[in-house]
Amino acid sequence: MWKKLLLAISALCATLFVAVYWFFSLFTGQVDVQELPNTQPESLAYVASGLPPTRGNILIVVTSQARFPGTDTATGYELTELSRAYYVFTANGFQVDVASPQGGYAPMVLDNDDMGPFDYAFLNDPAAQKKYKHTMPLADVNPENYRAVYFAGGKGTMFDFPNNPHIANLLAVQFERGGVVAAVCHGPAALLNAPSLAGRNVTGFTNAEELFLIPDARTRFGFLLEDALIAQGANFSQGPLYLHHVVVDGSLITGQNPWSVWTVAEEMVAALGYVPVPRAITAEERSVTLLQRLELEGVEAAMQSMNRQAVAPKRMLLAMHVIVSLMKADFGRAVEQLRILNKAKELASN
């Protein structure tokens, strides 16, 4: 009996080992030399061919909060939510300033799994470095100088964006003069200072996304962003977890999470009266598009949209969504996502 039990356990362990090895083989080995840390902005065609900064000024606001209050747990703003918007604005002919509640160096969060060529280029861009290493204090910002303001996300915003008198003044001036206001992910925490959100259509990091990552988020933050926006009368819209979702309500533009940054920034350019400069889709955006097609149209439609000519998806991002589905015990969806991930591997190998 014991021999049979040991054989069964050994067989199970071997099967699990093979399954894990196969799973990791689906997204390892994908190399993109542009994503190396030494990427320079001039190597990116979109950045290098940008328009001169003659269309006015846009202000980007990031958090100054470096730690969860009373703890050593780091927080701050997400680099990707700053860098990608920054390049959309500059490529489309705008001068960009970066401000924070306290000014000076603001705490940046780097996630290597999310980093792409634009993010590495930003870190190596001398002009960008001057802005993010020496942010303007919000107290010194003149709202009249800016055609638009963009609030980048990051968990730190949940602490120093709400109840901030300088943000309240900035929003009041922008709304009164018809300026464009945008925010992404946790950045809509700034909108809790708005003169009125009643009836406005918005999105932001959802309760479901927050609680999946931080089960005790209500305690750690003191509130959830979705709940707070609804409490102020906003019409909150949410898309699928960790996928692109953007809401445009006139000159108010909001994005649900980091995968919404590109569209939020380009919608800002459109709201300011310009056609955004064409931009090649990124591997990350291609992955999100496939996952959204899966959500909306089913696995066969997503599979049929994959071909060798299209931009190759970022397989690591596809794999992360498989893991999310497994953690939610949504095994059927995980299998469908694995089919997409496997086909992406096959296309890359051919």
What is the share, in percent, of the chain residues with pLDDT greater than 90? Answer: 80
**If you average pLDDT over residues 128-152, what whole number do you get?**
97
For residues 264 and 327, state if they share a domain.
Answer: no
For residues 286 and 260, state if they share a domain.
Answer: no
For residues 257 and 153, state if they share a domain.
Answer: yes
Phi, psi of 237 (to 5 degrees): -115, 135
- Number of structural domains (the chain) is 2
CB half-sphere exposure, 76, CA atoms < 13 A = 16
For residues 111 and 253, state if they share a domain.
Answer: yes
Out of 1-15, 67-81, 144-158, pick the least confident.
1-15
Q: Would the pLDDT of 8 be above 50?
A: no
For residues 139 and 210, state if they share a domain.
Answer: yes
31 found inside a domain:
no
- pTM of the shown model: 0.91
23 found inside a domain:
no
36 found inside a domain:
no
Residues 6+ apart with CB under 8 A from 14: none
* Domain residue limits at 86: 41-271
User: Which of 237, 271, 305 is a domain's end point?
Assistant: 271
For residues 151 and 58, state if they share a domain.
Answer: yes
Position 276 scores a pLDDT of: 97
Helices (H) and strands (E) in the chain, counts: 15, 11
24 found inside a domain:
no
- Which residue blocks in 147-244 are alpha helix, DSSP H? 157-160, 165-177, 207-213, 217-221, 225-231
* Tokens coding 162: 């709400």
231 found inside a domain:
yes
310-325 pLDDT tens trace: 788 999 999 999 999 9
User: Which of 214, 245, 271 is a domain's end point?
Assistant: 271
**If you average pLDDT over residues 167-185, what whole number do you get?**
97
* CA-based nearest residue to 149, from 77, 112, 94: 94
For residues 201 and 350, state if they share a domain.
Answer: no
Reported as a pLDDT band with limits 50, 70 and 90, residue 346 is confident
For residues 125 and 201, state if they share a domain.
Answer: yes
For residues 253 and 328, state if they share a domain.
Answer: no
177 found inside a domain:
yes
27 found inside a domain:
no
121, 85 in Cβ contact below 8 A? no
Q: Would the pLDDT of 72 be above 70?
A: yes
193-238 pLDDT tens trace: 999 899 999 999 999 999 999 999 999 999 999 999 999 999 999 9
| Strand 77-78, strand 108-109: pairing | parallel
User: Which of 228, 247, 271 is a domain's end point?
Assistant: 271
Residue 177: CATH number of its domain: 3.40.50.880
For residues 213 and 349, state if they share a domain.
Answer: no
Cβ neighbours around 25 below 10 Å, total: 11
Could you report how far apart the first and last alpha carbons of the chain are, in Å? 48
Dihedral-angle region of residue 103 (phi above 0 means left; psi in -120 to 50 means alpha; beta otherwise): left
Q: State the Cα–Cα distance between residues 143 and 173, nearest whole angstrom.
A: 6
For residues 158 and 301, state if they share a domain.
Answer: no
For residues 176 and 243, state if they share a domain.
Answer: yes
Phi, psi of 151 (to 5 degrees): -100, 110
20 found inside a domain:
no
Segments of the chain assigned E as strands = 57-61, 77-78, 95-100, 108-109, 136-137, 148-151, 180-184, 201-202, 235-236, 246-249, 252-255
